[in-house]
Amino acid sequence: MAYIMLAPVLVLLSVFVLWPAIQAVYLSFFDWSFYTSSQFVAWKNYANVLGDDRFWQAILRGLEFVLMTVPVSLVLSFLIASLAVSVSQKVSTLLKISIYIPSVISGVIASITFVMIYDYSGGILNALINIVGLPNQAWLGDPRWALGAIALPAVWLGLGISTLIMIAALLDVPQSFYEAAELEGASWWQRTRYITLPQIKNVLLFLLVTGFVGSIQQYELPLVMTAGGPQHATELPNLFIFNHFRQDTYVGYSIAAALLLFVVLGSISSIIFRIVNSEKLVD
């Protein structure tokens, strides 16, 4: 009886998640393609990945991208959440809806929209910087700007969820703390520094780690907007792996690279799990 109810989920998870995960580990030790018989090569694929400058450059670029997106997202969502909990119910709802709407938009549509915003001769961004006297920039065509130009829609798409989680956290802080602080004459900064931030520490940590994991795995935006160019300036780790997979008929290298990335992300995920677990949110 229980098994019949579980069967669809267990079968599908086994075939499309667990089996591919196991196969990934297996294939990473082989030279394998759709067209040839497989050959055991031990750690060769891993050695190739670890010895490949492009892999390391992609990882570094991923970290740079994290630095461009995560701190900005955390600060913005904290400020927006602070505003949302200090205004009337209706305004707060309006803020929540507006900030969350971008989160339901697909990466492709966001990409199309932002590519037009960045358009060299007719986009709004160049029109804006022209007002303050700066010359047009090729935002997506110039390696200096391209990664930042992808970070912007990434922040825009992701801000909604982190803000809503932050709002929930702020509402959990006991109101009496603030009343006491107000009696003592504490300023906004003092209340934030000594009450709010320590009280929402766990949520901040959670958002930091999920933000890191989500951000370093981003590849849909650069895939659509720039395909990784110009001069690999937007080739984030997963896009590097994905592009490699589509070009190389031997999949071992790509899979080994994905697994190496997974080792890093997996250890971070287990940290999250421990935090969430300690908060008694699981069971």
Partner 1 sequence: MAIAPTIPAIEPAAETQIPARRHHRRLTPARAAALVLKFVAGAIIVGLALFPLAWMVISGFKLRTEVVRTPFQFFPDVWEVQNYVQILSDPSFVRTLAITGLGAVIFTTGSILINSMAAYAFARLEFVGKRIVWPLVLMTMFIPGMTILLTSFIVVTKLYMLDTLAVLILPGLASAGHVFFVRQFYLNIPSSLEEAARVDGCGRWGVYFRVFLPLSKAPFVVVGIGSFMAYWNSFVWPVLTITNPDLFQVQQYLANFRGERSSELGLLIAGSALAAAPIIILFLIFQRQIIANIKMAGLK
Scan residues 242-281 and list those touching partner 1 (CB under 8 A). 242, 245, 251, 254-255, 258-259, 261-262, 265-266, 269-270, 273, 276, 279, 281
The single-letter DSSP state of residue 35 is S
**Residue 124 Cα distances to 49, 152, 171, angstroms:** 41, 14, 37
Nearest CA to 49 out of 202, 194, 248, 227 is that of: 248
CA 181, 184, 190 angle in degrees (round to 5)? Answer: 55
Number of residues that bind partner 1 (CB under 8 A): 93
Contact between 86 and partner 1 per CB under 8 A: yes
30, 253 contact by CB (below 8 A): no
Rounded to whole angstroms, how far apart are CA atoms 107 and 186?
A: 43
Q: Interface with partner 1 by CB under 8 A: which range of 23-31, 45-53, 177-185, 191-199?
A: 23-31
Position among 108, 180, 197, 205 found at the interface with partner 1 (CB under 8 A): 108
Q: How far is the CB of 202 from partner 1 (least distance, A)?
A: 10
Task: Output 8 or 133, the one with its CB closest to partner 1.
Answer: 8
Do you know the residue count of the chain? 283
Q: In 88-182, which ranges are E strands?
A: none
Position among 44, 54, 96, 191 found at the interface with partner 1 (CB under 8 A): 96
Radius of gyration over every alpha carbon of the chain, rounded to an integer in angstroms:
23
* Cα 227 to the center of its chain, rounded Å: 18
Burial 175-194 (b: 16+ CB within 10 A, else e): eeeeeebeeeebeeeebeee
**Structure token digits, residue 158:** 């992701």
Contact between 21 and partner 1 per CB under 8 A: yes
Position among 49, 68, 78, 107 found at the interface with partner 1 (CB under 8 A): 107
Task: Output 19 or 43, the one with its CB closest to partner 1.
Answer: 19
Residue span 223-242 as binding mask against partner 1, x where in contact by CB under 8 A, dash where not: xx-------------x--xx
Rounded to whole angstroms, how far apart are CA atoms 160 and 87?
A: 18
Helix (H, G, I), strand (E, B), or coil: what is residue 51? Answer: coil
Contact between 205 and partner 1 per CB under 8 A: no
- Residues 135 to 194: which contact partner 1 by CB under 8 A? 153, 156, 159, 161, 164-165, 168
- Residues 41 to 70: which contact partner 1 by CB under 8 A? none
- Residues 109 to 128: which contact partner 1 by CB under 8 A? 109-110, 112-114, 116-117, 119, 121-124, 126-127
Contact between 87 and partner 1 per CB under 8 A: yes
